[in-house]
Structure 1
Amino acid sequence: MRNILKITAVLLLISIIHISIPLRVYGYDKGRVPEYVKIGLKYGESATPMISISGKNGLALGSYINSVFNPIISFLSSEEIHVRKDSYFMGLNGSFIEYQYNEQMDNGNQTIQGPIHIQIGPQFSSQEEAQAFMSSLTTMPTKPYLSFEDGWKVWTGMFTSTISAQSAIEALRLTFPEHEVNIIPQNNRRIQVLSKTGDVLCMVNLGETDYYFKSNGSNMVKVDGKNFRGDIGIKRYTGSDLTIINRISLEEYLYGVVPKEMSGTWPLEAQKAQAVAARNYAIEKLGSHNQYGFDLCATTHCQVYGGFDSEHERSRGAVDETRGKFLTYNGELVTPFYHSNSGGHTENSENIWSSPIGYLKGVSDPFSIGAPNDTWSYVMTKDQIQEVLNSKQLSVGDLNSIQVTSYSDFGRVLKMEVSGSSDKKILEKEKVRSIFGYNNIKSTWFTVNTDASATVISGDASGPKQISSGNLFIAAADGTRQLDGSLEQIVVFNGIELKNISFNAKQYVFTGKGWGHGLGMSQWGAKKMAEEGYTYDQILTYYYTGTQIE
């Protein structure tokens, strides 16, 4: 009986010990992590009427159906080809520029190519049939080419108007009376593919479907002289230029991000921290550009992405060694905001934006001290400040003073008061930087002084403090009163002589610490930590409170 009790006690103890061991919980949704991402290289205002593209072993043009590439036509030459929208172009010095034909209408210019085409013969069920038919047209006045538009066809010409195409049709009907000949009008979804010398290789219209160029036998495509891994997609919106998209695996995308956000020569552990942060950030930002048909852009709006040409061997190693690693907080993926230099202390999210975020809490950061931009200053004249305020519809009239009225516990500006002859404006938190420039006011951790000479010693200050006339009180025969903020100078007696004290500031000096919003990881701090032997996970969990690597 005693042995049974002993065995029961041991089993109970083992059970208690087992229960007390913390289990590692993977709480984030792995389904959110895609194998491939679409990166917008050109879109919106940067969309382009034409690109040059090439592959080492030529290119295949097609589309993706359920993540499977469906080739339509191949171009076997390694020479670059031109891809452009179906529009008007003028040859110029061996290249092409878009031509505003409806405005200029220079019918006599023989270098202008237009979006009006002629179809000869019927529609074919395969490229081979269309190719054979095209080869039979031996007496064509202009060179024929293939077109894929709801099937394979043979077209000719790049006419600038229906009238000029009609003249060509009459000649074709005389030459090929047995074939039907029709005019093909411009289409806002169609693209033109031309050789480097300008010969038409084909026309393609996939309607709402995106076009993709895939390198034959390799994973590298060159676009306008820059190399990119993966495939290059082209989307045509009605009446727009070409939106250019790089379809690439998530990890290869990071190859082109990490060295653009952090120098590829920096310590490996710092770059591994950057790689995890960039991976997290990419997933959290997915869908930011759905309206343009891609996931992320290649600029600071998402993350700077430079393609293959920006890659660095050490950065690739950082991505590979952290493959599949994410930073989580309470089982959820975090958005790991980062910045260049904290200046010595990071900040709470609510003191930069509006809402508190559990993992974005201010931490002491001695690792950033001594690095570039740990301190800075920026000088603006009164006239420059007034010009900026007026351009932002924040006019205060003749500027009298700028004063910080509220700081966070860690020293960053929460409210700054700008006073003038006609109005007063309160700029809060990051609004100061957005108004005066993120590269000028490098952080919100700053003080403001002027070239005005008035200083006072008050009971709440350890030393002389510069003030404006609006903060000055004097004792007069009729009592104590506050001076008018527009006062430019006063005369005081210092016990020896009368002196003029100026309040008319001509220059404002912003003196601050750090560069960036101050949230999360300081990149220069991460570099220093890595140099001192910290690992990437230690770096990340130091800057992001309560997080873990999964």
Structure 2
Amino acid sequence: MTQPQPKRSKWLKWVVAFSIVCSPVLPGPVPAAKASVATTDTIRVALYIESPKYKLSVPAVTVTTDGGLSIGFRQAAGPTIVPDGAPSALRASLDQYGVLLMETDQYTAAKAYYDKLVKAGYSSTLFAAAKQGKEVYQVGIGGYADAALAAAARDKVKADSSLAASASAQSLTGPLRWSAGTYSTEAEASARVTELQQAGLPAVLAYHEDGAGNPAFSAWIGQEADQTGMAAIQAQALQVMPQLALVQVDTSQPYAVKRDDRTQGMGETLPHLQFNAGSKLWISSSQQSRIKVTEKDNRSYRGSLELSQYGGKLAVVNELPLEHYLYSVVSTEMGQGWPMEALKAQAVTARSYALEKGMKYEIAHVTDSTIDQAYNGVEFDDVIEAVNATAGEVMVMGKGIFSPLFYSNGGGITAESEEVWGNPAPNYASVNSPDSIAEKGKLTWYFVWLPNGKTGYIRSDLLKDTGSKNAAGMSYYEPTENGVNVRSFPDTNRASAVDKVNQGDRIVVLDEVIESNAYSWIRGTYTSAEMTGIMNKQLAEPLAGPVRSLEVSKRGPSGRALEIKANGQAVRVQYPDAIRTLMGGLPSTLFEIEETGRYTILGANDVSRTYPESALSLYAVQGGSPSAVLPNEFLVLNGAGDVRLATKDQKFIFRGKGNGHGLGMSQWGARGLAEQGYDYKKILEHYYKGVTITKD
């Protein structure tokens, strides 16, 4: 998609009233009575925030809209700056400390160095600036919360010969500046900036308020990190323009300086606002259209954005009406085309969750991630209908709003609280859940044995039966096309390819399974070394040796794993659901472990050997005598005639059901119940105990 280009003319003016959006109604303590359940007209969603509870940061944010952007300083009350001509796109970042690494009149060189810094992992900037009538390009890194961090970054660049060789400058930059004049109009300030730039001074246009709270536009000089730099730029300015009256800028007051961002291309300029830690930059659409955030995969959001400094980094908060927020949450969590009663159940659940949390992140109620509720700006008409139909409805327990837990799929049965967090909770009980609908329409996959002795999974529609069989009576299949991927488990999107096969290859099918989905899934196969590495990344005390055996040693009422033993020893986790992370991010704890290296061989005189405990080698026997040492992967036949894969080296396969922690409402289960005729209240009563649904 071609990004709309900003207008290059004057684009800021003042308005005097913004009281409605500047005074959001925030939830207070949860009252006792039904009629006074805590409510809020608006909700604040953190898209980026650096907090103790959630960390996701970005150095700058790029926003666009079809209707034009309004930008201003957000105060508790009073005026705000909005654009004249409403630019359709802009970038914004904090005015912090950084390092200027290159200044050149060659854009190609500047862009190449900028790209090199980004590839090396630095937050880089590329600005265009005027100097004595000539355009120059400045490449730097930042922003850093203080000068010490910027200096450390500079030293790191110096130590990297490939980066240091291209740097024509290595000076620290910062938010300290001199004011060379304040004006009541932007035009006057812009003319002063041009005059200073013609004299060779680093001048920028600044937006701020004067002492009376009125709009002010200034020409500022410098971008210094300390008072030594301030003295140097002052001396330079007075040398070329002795008549200047310079006043040091008070950086504690809200301001924004305008830069010309050239990161997109030679002829593509974005206005880039750098604002200070004392500012709250407010961005809205001048025509109430959605605001697109480039860094969020170009997602578009209702409402407005508030940009500020929090935890030393840029915080981006989307503020919008609560019910509009739910349009996207329910659309993201469930999707289009689900039964109306399931959508209503999700709407009440999501509303209850959001309201109960209060200001969880101090400057925001929730984040946009699944740590709270998934929110990506997408909306569907049927979801909007479901949200509107339940407007204001929440679940209440006792004197306050109930904070419900929910997840994708229960695997046929929900969890007890002890199976998830290790402690009881009276509102949750293990109940049957009709979740298997998630398998509907999924492809069949074949678990196959390849001519080279490897195993893996191939989609059934990519293989055909040849009609011939091997000596064991097993049918040979062959690919329907060349270059067919053989995957580690039956999932095109998540599983890596372990091999490829072509037409004419003779393949043995060992098993048929349904493609991994929210209801049933397979993960693996993991070698002993891989499993050891996966587990040791999570354990405070790493395993003493390689994983030779792995088993579920305790299960809860729903069958979920409560304890795992590795090499016969229980592995300590903080709470049972952490087993999912311990095992490499399994969808749920409702699983079985298959050890391909574990089997018992019955020999002559009823003497048996169990592997992997036995160290004796295995041989293929033909005509009564051993002919060869068995390969690492081979097939074994039990007394019932069933064939399965076995390996000399221990490997592990996880076969499970469900997706999520399993506590509370299963989203797929809610769909199943709705299709059975349950209304949304009955669905909620099925999954949550001792709660009532009320409307303020």
TM-score normalized by the length of structure 1: 0.74
Q: How many residues align?
A: 477
Residues of 1 paired with 2:614 and 2:572: CA distance? 21
The 3 A distance-change label for structure 1 pair 337 and 133 is closer
Residues of 2 paired with 1:305 and 1:172: CA distance? 54
- Residues 177 and 249, structure 2, Cα contact 8 Å, conserved in 1: yes
State the one-letter code of the partner of 2:678: Y
Q: Point out where structure 1 has 5 or more consecutive residues left out of the alignment.
A: 1-24, 457-466, 470-484, 492-496
Aligned counterparts, 1:292-307, within 5 A: 293-307=363-377
Aligned counterparts, 1:383-398, within 5 A: 383-391=529-537, 392=539, 393-398=541-546
What's the offset of the Cα at 1:360?
0.9
1:343 correspondence with 2:411: yes
1:366 correspondence with 2:434: yes
1:381 correspondence with 2:527: yes
- Residues 309 and 315, structure 2, Cα contact 8 Å, conserved in 1: yes
Residues of 2 paired with 1:274 and 1:202: CA distance? 39
Greater fraction strand? 2
State the one-letter code of the partner of 2:83: S
- Residues 435 and 668, structure 2, Cα contact 8 Å, conserved in 1: yes
What's the offset of the Cα at 1:136?
7.7
CA RMSD, aligned part only?
Answer: 4.2
Aligned counterparts, 1:213-224, within 5 A: 213-218=283-288, 220-224=290-294
Once the two structures are superposed, residues 196-238 of structure 1 have per-residue CA deviations (whole angstroms, 9 ceiling, x without a partner) of: 665878775572x522123324253333344221111111248
Instruction: Look up the SS of the partner of 1:32 in the other structure.
Output: coil
Residues of 2 paired with 1:49 and 1:367: CA distance? 42
1:519 correspondence with 2:668: no
1:83 correspondence with 2:86: no
State the one-letter code of the partner of 1:362: S
The 3 A distance-change label for structure 1 pair 141 and 390 is closer
Residues of 1 paired with 2:236 and 2:258: CA distance? 22
Residues of 2 paired with 1:455 and 1:431: CA distance? 36
User: Aligned residue for 1:235?
Assistant: 308
Residues of 1 paired with 2:189 and 2:197: CA distance? 16
What's the offset of the Cα at 1:274?
1.2
Aligned counterparts, 1:165-314, within 5 A: 165-166=233-234, 168-170=236-238, 173-174=241-242, 177=243, 180-182=245-247, 184=249, 191-194=256-259, 205=276, 207=278, 209-218=279-288, 220-224=290-294, 225-237=298-310, 240-290=312-362, 293-307=363-377, 310-314=378-382
- Residues 192 and 200, structure 1, Cα contact 8 Å, conserved in 2: no
User: Aligned residue for 2:71?
Assistant: 60
User: Aligned residue for 1:540?
Assistant: 684
State the one-letter code of the partner of 1:34: T
What's the offset of the Cα at 1:59?
0.7
Aligned counterparts, 1:91-170, within 5 A: 96=127, 98-99=140-141, 102=151, 103=154, 115=175, 117-121=177-181, 127-128=184-185, 139-142=195-198, 145-148=205-208, 151=211, 152-157=216-221, 159=223, 162=230, 165-166=233-234, 168-170=236-238
- Residues 82 and 194, structure 1, Cα contact 8 Å, conserved in 2: no
Which piece of structure 1 moves more, 86-95 or 266-275? 86-95
What's the offset of the Cα at 1:435?
0.5
Residues of 1 paired with 2:303 and 2:239: CA distance? 45
Residues of 2 paired with 1:243 and 1:358: CA distance? 37
- Residues 434 and 673, structure 2, Cα contact 8 Å, conserved in 1: no
Residues of 2 paired with 1:447 and 1:201: CA distance? 54
Match of 2:397 among 304, 314, 329: 329
Residues of 1 paired with 2:271 and 2:87: CA distance? 16
Match of 1:42 among 34, 41, 48: 48
State the one-letter code of the partner of 1:41: L
The share of aligned pairs that are identical, in percent, is 24
The 3 A distance-change label for structure 1 pair 109 and 69 is same
The 3 A distance-change label for structure 1 pair 223 and 413 is closer
Instruction: Look up the SS of the partner of 1:315 in the other structure.
Output: helix
- Residues 406 and 415, structure 1, Cα contact 8 Å, conserved in 2: yes
What's the offset of the Cα at 1:297?
1.1
Instruction: Look up the SS of the partner of 1:272 in the other structure.
Output: helix
The 3 A distance-change label for structure 1 pair 435 and 299 is same
1:453 correspondence with 2:453: no
Match of 1:411 among 538, 543, 559: 559
Which piece of structure 1 moves more, 198-207 or 540-549? 198-207
TM-score normalized by the length of structure 2: 0.59
Once the two structures are superposed, residues 49-76 of structure 1 have per-residue CA deviations (whole angstroms, 9 ceiling, x without a partner) of: 32223441331312141xx574135343
What's the offset of the Cα at 1:46?
3.4
What's the offset of the Cα at 1:153?
4.9
1:434 correspondence with 2:581: yes
The 3 A distance-change label for structure 1 pair 29 and 70 is farther
Q: Point out where structure 2 has 5 or more consecutive residues left out of the alignment.
A: 1-30, 112-124, 128-138, 143-149, 159-165, 262-267, 440-516, 603-608, 619-623, 627-635, 639-645
Residues of 2 paired with 1:199 and 1:365: CA distance? 52
User: Aligned residue for 1:71?
Assistant: 80
- Residues 204 and 257, structure 2, Cα contact 8 Å, conserved in 1: no
Residues of 2 paired with 1:200 and 1:115: CA distance? 18
The 3 A distance-change label for structure 1 pair 118 and 387 is same
Which piece of structure 1 moves more, 112-121 or 280-289? 112-121
